[in-house]
Structure 1
Amino acid sequence: MDLFGETKNWENDLKPILKKYKGKKHPLDYKNTYQLLVMVVLSAQDSDANINNIAPALFAKFPTLKSLSKTDKETFVPYISKVRNHTTKAGWLLEIAKSIQNEEDIPLNMNGLTALKGLGRKSANVILRETHQPAEGIITDLHVIRVAPRIGIVQESKDGNKVEKQLMEALPKKIWSEIGMAISFLGREICRPTPKCEECLLNDKCDYFLQLQKK
């Protein structure tokens, strides 16, 4: 496989979206690391908007990790019943809460986070970015999986871990923390399933758009 990024200076080419989205908070409307952890787990295969809708009542009832650790599944599930796969996620979150107990003990590194039930690399990368920890990977959500191959940075794949690995090979580590979320925001706002190419800051660098221009 040819490595993408060898003939392009992606750090330079991606500057427009890095500048536009640098430091922009994740769409999950969390207030602290405990809420972020819970909401990231709940958001898997669900929308950020749906998780934001159920969060106020959830955190009013369970304001701390300690309070969550003291409840049972029967009490907890009604607060997340509108979340996809809520029964499974309830089990994961109660296990996490019982094992960690306190917010200050939430691990803020890749190995510690991915050791927790329901947390893969994508979720861990979101938590590390939002808590301003050193990047150990690149956020690769469904928007990044769609957009990064269109731009031409990576080969198309539905496997987020494979896409992340290619991104890490193509991009310098100093932009890892921000670039995943920047591509994600681009995908949410402009590079939709039906993209608005004329509005895109990267259309002069994007393989997809340049191919359209040749037709």
Structure 2
Amino acid sequence: MDLFDDKDWGEILKPLIEKYRNHRHPLHYGNIYQLLVMVILSAQDRDDHINSLAPAIFDRYPTIDTLTEANQNDLTQLLQGVRYHNNKIEWILQTAKIIKSKGYIPENMKELTTLPGIGRKSANVLLREMGRPSEGVLVDLHVLRVAPRLGITKATVADTIEKDLMKHVPKNLWEDTGLSLSFLGREICRPTNPKHNECILADSCEWFKSVVKS
């Protein structure tokens, strides 16, 4: 029997989703323009680090139009502490120009993922925060760790994990599933010393069962 077939993951995840549904997104943005810039910057960096830099960025560049007037050197002064900042600055500048020419920030997966620096993970974040229909499930570094531990997937690659989540979780729960699993990974299911006794999914977790057996 397939690992997934004997479990109703929609029902299993509901208490977790209920717990985290109203939590504020870890990136402290003021509008979707700010979130767009911040999700590009946050890749392989810490959300709290990007939050600390954001006020200076948006004081200087409060809109897409003002950001298109910036150059690499201007942004390097503000972002040189960000991981891979040279690539990210280039993506931000290109994205700002594309959005200015379009006249809007895209609100669907297909268009969002054509923007430099925006992959499916970032697009899923943007769609959720925009209140647009879900087209996938957010898979960040925390979900990448948590989903296989729970037993929802055997995969270790983000795209495959997302496909498994989309297959085994009802679509009406996609919007909150990724972020809820991410918060679980941040707070409880840590890379080391996970807090099994505090996890509301412990009874359904394949990894916890293996720990108990050992």
TM-score (norm 2): 0.95
Q: Following the alignment from structure 2 to structure 1, what is the Cα–Cα distance between the partners of residues 71 and 135?
A: 34
Q: Is the 8 A contact 2:10 2:168 kept in 1?
A: no
2:74 maps to amino acid: T
Q: CA deviation at 1:4?
A: 4.4
Of 178, 186, 189, which aligns to 1:191?
189
Q: Does 1:174 align with 2:172?
A: yes
Name the structure 1 match of 2:162.
Answer: 164
Q: What is the count of residue pairs matched by the alignment?
A: 213
Deviation for aligned residue 1:3:
5.1
Could you list the per-position Cα deviations for residues 130-171 of structure 1 after superposition, in whole angstroms to 9, with x for gaps in the alignment? 1111000000000000000111111141x2111111111111
* Alignment partner, residue 42 of structure 1: 41
**Cα RMSD after superposing both structures:** 1.5
Tell me the amino acid that sits aligned with residue 32 of structure 2: T
Change (3 A) 1:66 1:163: same
Rounded to whole Å, the distance in 2 between the matches of 1:176 and 1:69 is: 34
Rounded to whole Å, the distance in 2 between the matches of 1:136 and 1:47 is: 25
1:121 aligns with 2:120: yes
User: Which 4+ stretches in 1 moved above 6 angstroms?
Assistant: none
Deviations 1:3-42 (Å, cap 9, x if unpaired)?
5432111111111101100132210010000000000000
Q: Hey, what's the Cα distance between the residues in 1 that align with 2:102 and 2:32?
A: 7
1:211 deviates by 1.6
CA distance in 2: counterparts of 1:103 and 1:146, whole angstroms: 37
**1:47-103: CA deviation from partner (whole Å, max 9, x where unpaired):** 101100111111111011110011211212211111101111111100111111289
Corresponding residue for residue 71 of structure 1: 70
8 Å contact from structure 1 (residues 65, 102) kept in 2: no
Structure 1, unpaired ranges of 5+: none
Helix, strand or coil at the partner of 1:155: coil
Over the matched positions of the two proteins, sequence identity in percent amounts to: 48
Residues 106 and 28 (structure 1 numbering): CA distance in 2 closer, same or farther, change over 3 Å?
same
* Superposition pairs of residues 69-148 of structure 1, within 5 angstroms: 69-101=68-100, 105-148=104-147
1:22 has 2:4 as partner? no
Report if aligned partners of 2:128, 2:134 keep a CA contact under 8 Å in 1: yes
TM-score if structure 1 supplies the norm length? 0.95
Is the Cα–Cα contact under 8 Å of residues 34 and 64 in structure 1 kept in the other structure? yes
One-letter amino acid of the structure 1 residue matched with residue 87 of structure 2? T
Cα 1:81–1:114 shift into 2, 3 Å: same
Structure 2 residue ranges without an equivalent (≥5): none
Alignment check: 8 A CA contact 2:109 2:123 kept? yes
